[in-house]
């Protein structure tokens, strides 16, 4: 698979963004003659399009924390989508970044109808380098928040709890697999260390709470009832 390249001059003059570039692409295990553990190397050749340009390279198409915030802001500001999508702060990361939680479901007409809904939990980006996970998550959110008959039916039947970016610190600092603490969060779902792994701890706690909590999104004309968020 060709690496991705972004040229600032191409972007500013021709509105060209990330694109696949490169030749003589090789991925191989190097020879460690000193007895140490060998590493895997990726090499390729590239011809830069301009002199005095700044170029960036990536493995996957990037999806940043800022991209996520822009998307969530558009959802929160939508008079239609905000009727069945509630945006909350699940917790703060080690660096103090917001870990977002979306609750997506159509308003229930009665408490009994709400109690029958089952919860579906989706998370993405526990490994910050796997930005393709964010693009898949965006595709899902675009669908489930749409006016498609299938999406409306799913919102009638289920309550979707979505954590679109589990490891924002790792995304921001450019880690591939680890959190800000240098740990693979995908290996700590059983942790009891709330302060060390807040994103995982709060996600697990949210999942446990979803098993016993009735979530009610009320329409404007519904009677006032106590929400159990």
Whole-angstrom distance, CA of residue 108 vs CA of residue 219 = 8
Supply the pLDDT for residue 32: 63
Q: What is the DSSP letter of 185?
A: G
**Alpha-carbon distance values, 85 to 88, 116, 124 (Å):** 10, 19, 18
Contact indicator for 103, 215 with CB cutoff of 8 Å? yes
pTM higher than the cut 0.85: no
Q: What is the CATH number of domain 65-210?
A: 3.40.630.10
Of these ranges, 28-32, 97-101, 107-111, the one predicted with the greatest mean pLDDT is 97-101
- Report the relative pairing of strands 118-123 and 158-163 from DSSP bridges: parallel
Query: pLDDT category, 215, cuts 50, 70, 90?
Result: very low
Whole-angstrom distance, CA of residue 184 vs CA of residue 128 = 10
* Mean pLDDT computed over every residue of the chain: 89
Whole-angstrom distance, CA of residue 203 vs CA of residue 215 = 17
For the cut 70, the answer to whether the pLDDT of residue 227 exceeds it is no
Supply the pLDDT for residue 174: 92
Whole-angstrom distance, CA of residue 89 vs CA of residue 91 = 6
Q: CATH 3.40.630.10 region(s) of the chain?
A: 65-210
Query: pLDDT category, 224, cuts 50, 70, 90?
Result: very low
Query: pLDDT category, 212, cuts 50, 70, 90?
Result: low
Supply the pLDDT for residue 107: 92
Contact indicator for 6, 56 with CB cutoff of 8 Å? yes
For range 163-189, the mean pLDDT: 93
What are the start-end ranges of the E strands in the chain? 4-7, 19-20, 23-29, 40-45, 55-58, 85-92, 98-104, 118-123, 158-163
pLDDT in tens, 16-52: 999 999 999 998 888 766 677 888 888 999 999 999 9
Whole-angstrom distance, CA of residue 184 vs CA of residue 111 = 40
For the cut 90, the answer to whether the pLDDT of residue 203 exceeds it is yes
DSSP, collapsed to helix, strand or coil, labels residue 102 as strand
Supply the pLDDT for residue 35: 72
């Amino acid at each position: 698979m060709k690496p991705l390249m972004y040229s600032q001059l191409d972007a500013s003059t021709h509105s060209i963004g990330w694109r696949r570039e490169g030749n003589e692409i090789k991925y191989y295990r190097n020879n460690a003659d000193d007895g140490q553990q060998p590493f895997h190397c990726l090499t390729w050749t590239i011809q830069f399009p301009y002199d005095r340009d700044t170029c960036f390279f990536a493995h996957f198409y990037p999806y940043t924390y800022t991209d996520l915030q822009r998307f969530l802001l558009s959802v929160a500001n939508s008079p239609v989508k905000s009727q069945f999508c509630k945006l909350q702060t699940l917790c703060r990361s080690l660096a103090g970044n917001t870990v977002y939680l979306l609750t997506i479901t159509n308003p229930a007409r009665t408490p009994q109808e709400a109690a029958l809904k089952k919860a579906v939990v989706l998370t993405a980006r526990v490994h910050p380098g796997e930005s393709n996970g964010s693009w898949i998550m965006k595709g899902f959110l675009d669908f489930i928040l749409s006016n498609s008959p299938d999406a409306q039916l799913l919102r009638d039947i289920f309550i979707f709890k979505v954590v679109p970016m589990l490891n924002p610190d790792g995304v921001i600092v450019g880690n591939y697999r680890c959190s800000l603490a240098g740990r693979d969060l995908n290996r700590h779902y059983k942790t009891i260390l709330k302060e060390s792994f807040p994103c995982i701890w709060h996600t697990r706690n949210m999942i446990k709470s979803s098993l016993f909590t009735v979530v009610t999104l009320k329409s404007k004309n519904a009677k006032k009832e106590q929400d159990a968020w």
